[in-house]
Amino acid sequence: MQEFSSAAKWTYFNHASDSPLPARSARVLRERIGLLEDPRLEVPAREGYLARAQEYLGRLIGGLPEQIAFLTNIADATAVVVNGLAWNPGDEVIVVSGEFASFVYPWKTLERLGVVIRVVAKEGVATLFDDIEAAITPRTRVLAISHVEYLSGFKNDLAALGALCRENDVLFVVDASQSLGVIPIDAEVNGIDVLVAVGYKWLMSPHGISVLYVSPEAMEQIRPSSPGRYSVESGWQSADYGLDWFPDARRYQGGALNWLGVCALAESTGVLDEIGIDQVAAASRRICDGLIERIAGLPVRITSDLRDAHRSSILTFTFGLVDVDEEFVEYAAKAGVILGRRAYGIRFGAHFWNNETDLDRLVTVIREFSESHVGAGGSQ
């Protein structure tokens, strides 16, 4: 695809870590940097990019655009909820083992207030709905969980979890960093109260920009805890310092935004909006299906959950030994195939712009590595 021509020389399957920028996002970054060098340049107003980013993300999330705010990372987006709720000793938050640390650390800080953090254990790579349901008590305030888990690509059932939270009056907080931009989400239908996501993975944007969605109902519970001039309607020009909060999610933004990140995010989400998230998801799924078919018979084992309801755009597979998996990732990179490695082995992440040629190249590298490493791990 022309938007990724600079990455075409590589076979890139590491979107679960970082995504290459589309050409249009790189162009707008150069434009904005040019403005920093020369403030006299005439470029489109940054507020226009902000409005477009909210519009595109509203469609990706399935929520109102005005309920979307921009922060810098998962930790500070999650901290909006952690620090914005009123807590009592004995209140409980449910998280799942194996979550990305930045999504868990903010909740852990509540232990100083006597809040109990309940960690639901996994069964292999799977997070079981029944175990989450069993963990809920009358003191449970929040369920904080990833839509797609970063270690194996296990996809949780948002509809079932959302219904569970509504039945028990529990705030439903979702980290969509490994799904937003490649898997359809409907926050309103699934009862998601808060959604957080970083920009640099499947949204194909730079580091330093994150997305925060807060439903209108959840805003009644979550007070702004780090306000700045972008949180209030009177803005920076008011000298009375009144806390006249914006009526939407802008109240959770503080001082100056990462405007470079906002502008790039508007362009990259514009790509996704043009294609359509259903088409993006289908293209990614075809490539994942192709990998499953092609590596059958090769000396590797898929470790992801392959049940359809729990499939995502991430697959993990292993040669059987950690050191062999690590060696393969290095070997593949030298051959121009970029992958990651996590707890369940080699991590493969396909976006809409990957194609059959990419798959063929990966399978060839697996076969060549296997043939040159007979006797190592799964190659025996």
Distance CA 144, CA 269 (A): 25
Task: Measure Cα distances from 140 to 166, 170, 188 in Å.
Answer: 12, 7, 22
The 3-class SS string of 8-58 reads: CCCEECECCCCCCCCHHHHHHHHHHHHHHHCCCCCCCCHHHHHHHHHHHHH
Confidence band of 255 (pLDDT split at 50, 70, 90) = confident
**Domains defined along the chain, listed by start:** 2-21+276-379 (3.90.1150.10), 23-274 (3.40.640.10)
Burial group, residue 259, by CB count within 10 angstroms (0-12, 13-18, 19+): middle
pLDDT tens-digit profile of 195-228? 999 999 999 999 999 999 999 999 999 999 999 9
Query: If you average pLDDT over residues 50-60, what whole number do you get?
Result: 97
Q: Is the pLDDT of residue 281 over 80?
A: yes
**Pairing, β 210-214 against β 194-198:** antiparallel
C-beta separation of 337 from 329 below 8 A? no
Q: In this prediction, what percent of the chain has a pLDDT beyond 70?
A: 98
Query: If you average pLDDT over residues 224-236, what whole number do you get?
Result: 89
**Residue 4, pLDDT score:** 87
pLDDT tens-digit profile of 4-47? 877 778 899 999 999 999 999 999 999 999 999 988 888 888 99
Which three-class secondary structure state does DSSP give residue 144?
strand
